[in-house]
Amino acid sequence: MARAPDAVTIVTGGAGFLGSHLCTRLIAGGARVIAIDNLSTGNRANVAHLHATGRFSLIEHDIIMPIEISEDVSAIYNLACPASPPKYQIDPVHTFRTSIDGAHNMLELAKRKTARILQASTSEVYGDPEMSPQPESYFGAVNTYGPRACYDEGKRGAETLFYEYARAHGLETRIARIFNTYGPRMDAQDGRVVSNFVVQALAGDDITVYGTGRQTRSFCYVDDLIDGLIRLMNSDDGINGPVNLGNPREFTVLELAEMVLDKTGSPSRLRFLDALQDDPKQRRPDITLAHTLLGWQPTVSLHDGLDRMIAHFAQAPEQQRATALS
């Protein structure tokens, strides 16, 4: 499908952790980018460096409401939605609507603009999986009636909307199932395990481990994930279903904690708390499809990625600490 040479790329959630990295990479590649963000979890500071390029603008808007863009649009990356349990549980109804109403509004915009659209889905669609690693063909084991359901089921519903729009309207859609991602620009108060451990270790606070710590996660550095998203968006038309994007190397939460303590030289001690409801016991992606169709696989090890993230958080410890306590 031919695109106007001056068409823009839209990134919803563009001032957030993943969105700001995506905007930066797209602009570095020559794109003109409009970020849409309601700033509930995003931060203007994450994209402040992009305004000087002359090819970036930020619209403060909540995508649960429709929006019209006057310019030609070639692509839409739909990343808008809080991704950490403490954030999305603040207003679970709004979280669910962001996934469902937000996806619907962006799909309608894509249809009007004849733009390709990518949905940032999640490994949470697999719930507490009964098989490992998790391939895209696995239907998951999700609790529809629990504290995580607003996010998990919202993302599953958004995938269904993307499927139906592609089938009924011939829309060019892509779906990325994103596994645990970490790196610079994560909010110090994000509440996810990597940022929690790094902030706590740098401050000398106890490292809080929920449950036994033997539950596993697979951690993907943000640069690798952004590369995967762009490859998926630009992929051939033959890719119609979801594609896992994550690092298949598996670590226990305790292994992550010990690694952070070793790298920071922190005197912090481990403090064990009750396990969280519906917290997955194992999470590891099967990335065969991404490797085969996109030629993609992660290149940054957890050891190297943690070094970069710790250096970022250590640059302004007072600011990071204040953010964590706000």
Strand ranges, E, within 99-180: 116-122, 173-178
The answer on 194 and 137 residing in a single domain is: no
pLDDT tens, 222-258? 999 999 999 999 998 778 899 999 999 999 999 999 9
For residue 260, give the CATH number of its domain: 3.90.25.10
CB 46 within 8 A of CB 16: yes
Residue 99 has pLDDT above 90, yes or no: yes
The length of the chain is: 326
Q: State how far the Cα of 114 lies from the Cα of 165, in Å rounded to an integer.
A: 12
Single-letter amino acid, residue 215: Q
State the average pLDDT for the chain: 93
Q: What is the pLDDT of residue 310?
A: 96
Token pair recorded at residue 190 = 């994000």
Asked if residue 98 belongs to a domain, the reply is yes
Q: State how far the Cα of 69 lies from the Cα of 8, in Å rounded to an integer.
A: 10
Catalytic site residue 221?
A: no
Q: CA dist 277 to 42, 99, 158, 281, Å?
A: 26, 22, 23, 11
Q: Strand, coil or helix: what is 281?
A: coil
pLDDT tens, 133-157? 999 999 999 999 999 999 999 999 9
pLDDT tens, 258-304? 999 999 999 999 999 998 888 889 999 999 999 999 999 999 999 99
The answer on 144 and 111 residing in a single domain is: yes
Query: How many structural domains is the chain composed of?
Result: 2
The answer on 320 and 195 residing in a single domain is: yes
- List the catalytic residue out of 88, 151, 165, 182: 151
For the chain, the straight-line distance linking the first and the last C-alpha, in angstroms and rounded, comes to 47
The answer on 314 and 200 residing in a single domain is: yes
The answer on 144 and 106 residing in a single domain is: yes
Structural domain boundaries enclosing 275: 182-217+249-283+299-325
The answer on 176 and 186 residing in a single domain is: no
The answer on 276 and 135 residing in a single domain is: no
CB 76 within 8 A of CB 87: no
Asked if residue 76 belongs to a domain, the reply is yes
The answer on 49 and 32 residing in a single domain is: yes
For residue 68, give the CATH number of its domain: 3.40.50.720
Q: State how far the Cα of 18 lies from the Cα of 8, in Å rounded to an integer.
A: 19
The answer on 207 and 62 residing in a single domain is: no
The answer on 188 and 203 residing in a single domain is: yes
Q: What is the pLDDT of residue 323?
A: 37
The answer on 121 and 198 residing in a single domain is: no
Q: State how far the Cα of 156 lies from the Cα of 31, in Å rounded to an integer.
A: 30
